[in-house]
Amino acid sequence: MSVDQLSLQPARQAGADGVVIGCLTAEGAVDSDLCARLLDAAGPLDVTFHRAFDMARDLDEALEDIASLGIRRILTSGGAPDVPAGIGRIAALANRAAGRVSIMPGGGVVPETVAEIVRATAVREIHLAARNEHESAMRFRNDACSMGAFTAGREYKLKVANPEKIRAARQALDSAAS
């Protein structure tokens, strides 16, 4: 069994519908050979190319490489820090993709901006974090310690999916797409 199969096997065994991959060369191009091996290992799973796409040296070239591999969608902020900043580039990518691969905006998307993003880009899918942050029920707090540089001050917070935000995003997507 190859390393590629082992890395995707748990997702397949768990009954996942899909996986997200993203492989670039040291020069910033899509690593088509590695992606092809991962696609083969994915078997029937739906495959999305993640925001590694945004780090590619040439997004148009990367889109063509990904489309030629048969990957179904690309998660992207248009090469910008977030979707609002990259919305023009996302629209251009969606136009260039011409249905060969789905362009899925993700990064900084909130339910309130979904309709605007869909109208501006003509995309059919959106990726967002529709969640709320809640305080942990833990009463004891060790303020002298953090779990890591990026979590300092957030050790006692939980992020939980918010059904209302999900519903609002879905309604905005449906109304903008019709």
Token pair recorded at residue 151: 């979590």
Query: Domains (ranges, CATH) in the chain?
Result: 3-128 (3.20.20.380)
Q: Which stretches does DSSP call E strand in the chain?
A: 18-21, 46-49, 73-76, 102-105, 131-135, 157-161
Could you give the CA distance from residue 163 to residue 160 in angstroms, rounded to a whole number? Answer: 9
The Cα 165–Cα 121 span in angstroms is 21
Predicted confidence (pLDDT) per residue in 15-57, tens digit: 999 999 999 999 999 999 999 999 998 989 999 999 999 999 9
- pLDDT tens, residue by residue, 100-150: 999 999 999 999 999 999 999 999 999 998 888 899 898 898 888 888 777
3-state DSSP assignment of residue 68: helix
Q: Assign 6 a pLDDT band (cuts: 50, 70, 90).
A: low
